[in-house]
Chains A and B, each alone.
Chain A
Amino acid sequence: MLRIKQTNPMHCVQDLGRYGFASQGVAKAGPMDSVAACWANYCLGNAVTLPLLEIGGGGFVAEFTKDVNFALAGAWGEMTLDGKPLSGPGAHPVSADSILRLVRFSGGMFSYLAVQGGFAIEPVLGSVSTCQRDSLGGIYGQGESLSINDALPYQKHEPLPLNLIPRRYLDSYNQPLVCDVILRETDQFASDSTDLFLNQGYRVTREQSRMGYRLDGDLSIVAERPRYSIPIPLGGIQVPPSGQPIVLMRDHQSLGGYPILGTLTRKSLGQLAQRRAGQMVSFRAVSREIAVQEFSKYRQFFGDFR
């Protein structure tokens, strides 16, 4: 078991998300940075679809009650096992009664904690992903984030060869980010909107949640409000009347009343999710073909990717 000793409302159970219910208004949920989440499971030889913990911000303390291999990927900072600093993202063996502390992050917003064999949690509507908005998923199935004394069961596993995360995939999330965007064919924007969007930098604002990240640029985008709401793709860039874009994250609503300029690639979406308020982001257009090639590479490598 992993017993939670200290936690915050941004610590929750996730898997790759809840699919097949969007037509009924159920959010996909799933990891804010799905690339990092997949690496955490991959390090342990797990299927990337297994339940793991999304740890948003530090202040996480937990005790392992059985020997196991665990892995951390994504945001990094002051992290210790029984008081000794952990060397870095990747797999680590742990013995019973050890205490893991994720004190604070020096880069990134979300760290992913997986154990070999995954946490044993009952899925709701096909997924364990916690979605507070829909009251679905998590340990108790009602969309709760982690609480002190929660116990997450796992099996003691035979040692397996552990995989490493290649160095070039490790990210500090502290550099200015350039996101790849698949632009949308639409007539709802003023003609210069795309150029304006691609040519200026944006700051990530404090208004960031699992539903969306609001960005702030010097110049506003002029857009016409559609008469009807439209289906929203994951990573869609919505432009409300303020002219300042909102990037739609994992718990987004299925329909939205604002026009959509384009969609972030899944990899860029995860990288944006890792950015804190005040960090700079810019965007570049990418063809759908190139984006699919990269997406398919991740899918093939991890066995699944969402």
Chain B
Amino acid sequence: MSDLKSIQWVSEDTIEIELGDPVARETLEKVERLSRWIQATHLPWLIDHCYGFGLLSLVVRPDLISAVHLSQNLHDLLETPSPRSSQNKLDLIEITVCYDPAFGIDLKSISERTQLSIDAVIEAHHSHDYQVLATGFVPGFAYLGETDPRLHLPRRDVPRIRIPAGSVAIAENQTVIYPNETPGGWHIIGRMPGSIVSFTDQSIHAQLSMGKSVRFQPISLAEFKRLEADHAPD
């Protein structure tokens, strides 16, 4: 099987599919196609799914689907050529980030540890697009990659107790946005105005999901304040 590295049942109702190197272009294309398929198709056998770093985990009804059937389905799906023209635009999410030191509280230490100027750190962060490498941890949280190799740093030795919602942070080869105030060990470089995730009693809308790409758009502190005021509830 050319497209699937392995498919294994990890419990009575959970199938794990290995799609390849989490940051490789081919893997991310497969993820994008699978994500479209899951969202656009009513699959009576599918109860839930979760994607993380090249592994797609599906919770299924084992009475409605066999491993062989699923494997064939996925194979056909990934083998069929798809129209590529308008796809990338649709899936690119633009997120504005204010890199003011008031928000980017770790910019100075990142600059010292990477031997880059603060401006060069900021530039390296927003100068290229990212892919969603995984989602999870808390609702709305997504792992984006890969960052510029010059920005790769291990996580902080001592995690912070409270990271404000909207904080944009880096660690290892990834960057993230904290959807809510939580503890966290990543290096904070800026903040986005508004919210990356919204809830109702019936649904959850996370801007960042499997198969999406992200572009960061730098904004000034004044612009941040204006946008934040726009997002404030009436």
- Contact at A22–B50, with CB atoms within 8 Å? yes
Residues on the A chain within 8 Å of B203, using CB: 125
- Contact at B50–A255, with CB atoms within 8 Å? yes
Q: Is the interface of B mostly helix, strand, loop or mixed?
A: strand
- Contact at A122–B201, with CB atoms within 8 Å? yes
Interface residue? A253 (CB, 8 A): yes
Interface residue? A134 (CB, 8 A): yes
Interface residues of A in 257-306 (CB under 8 A from B): 260, 263-266, 288, 291-292, 294-296, 299, 306
Interface residue? B120 (CB, 8 A): no
Residues on the B chain within 8 Å of A184, using CB: 8, 10
Interface residues of A in 220-243 (CB under 8 A from B): 228-231, 233-236
Known contacts A20-B48, A125-B204, A231-B52; decide if A25 and B12 are in contact (CB<8 Å): no
Interface residues of B in 7-22 (CB under 8 A from A): 8-14, 16, 22
- Contact at A25–B135, with CB atoms within 8 Å? yes
Residues on the A chain within 8 Å of B22, using CB: 228
- Contact at B48–A19, with CB atoms within 8 Å? yes
- Contact at B136–A263, with CB atoms within 8 Å? no
Interface residue? B167 (CB, 8 A): no
Determine the distance from Cα of A234 to Cα of B14 in the docked complex, in whole angstroms.
9
Residues on the B chain within 8 Å of A185, using CB: 6, 8
Within 8 Å by CB of A141, from B8, B10, B197, B201, lies B201
Chain-A contact segment, one of B54-62, B76-84, B220-228? B54-62
- Contact at A292–B50, with CB atoms within 8 Å? no
- Contact at A254–B136, with CB atoms within 8 Å? yes
Interface residue? B141 (CB, 8 A): yes
- Contact at B202–A255, with CB atoms within 8 Å? no
Interface residue? A28 (CB, 8 A): yes
Within 8 Å by CB of A265, from B11, B137, B206, B210, lies B11
Residues on the B chain within 8 Å of A182, using CB: 9-12
Interface residue? A124 (CB, 8 A): yes
In angstroms, how far is the closest chain A Cβ from the Cβ of B23?
A: 9
Determine the distance from Cα of A234 to Cα of B135 in the docked complex, in whole angstroms.
17
Number of A interface residues in the complex (CB < 8 A) = 43
Interface residue? B51 (CB, 8 A): yes
Interface residue? A26 (CB, 8 A): yes
- Contact at A295–B12, with CB atoms within 8 Å? yes
Known contacts A22-B59, A182-B11, A231-B16; decide if A134 and B139 are in contact (CB<8 Å): yes
Determine the distance from Cα of A235 to Cα of B10 in the docked complex, in whole angstroms.
10
Which single residue of chain B is at the shortest CB-CB distance from A260? B10
Which single residue of chain A is at the shortest CB-CB distance from B179? A25
Interface residue? B134 (CB, 8 A): yes
Residues on the A chain within 8 Å of B48, using CB: 19-23, 28
Determine the distance from Cα of A253 to Cα of B139 in the docked complex, in whole angstroms.
10
Interface residue? A24 (CB, 8 A): yes
Residues on the B chain within 8 Å of A124, using CB: 201
Known contacts A125-B201, A229-B134, A231-B50; decide if A24 and B12 are in contact (CB<8 Å): no
Residues on the B chain within 8 Å of A255, using CB: 50, 52, 134, 136-137
Residues on the A chain within 8 Å of B56, using CB: 231
* Given A19-B48, A292-B62: 8 more A-B contacts, CB < 8 Å: A19-B47, A22-B49, A22-B136, A24-B204, A26-B139, A28-B48, A125-B202, A182-B9
21 contacting pairs across A/B (C-beta < 8 A): A22-B48, A22-B50, A23-B51, A26-B139, A122-B201, A125-B204, A134-B138, A141-B201, A182-B10, A182-B11, A229-B53, A230-B53, A234-B14, A236-B11, A253-B136, A253-B137, A254-B52, A255-B137, A263-B10, A265-B11, A295-B62
Q: 4 closest pairs, A vs B, by CB?
A: A228-B53, A231-B57, A254-B136, A295-B12
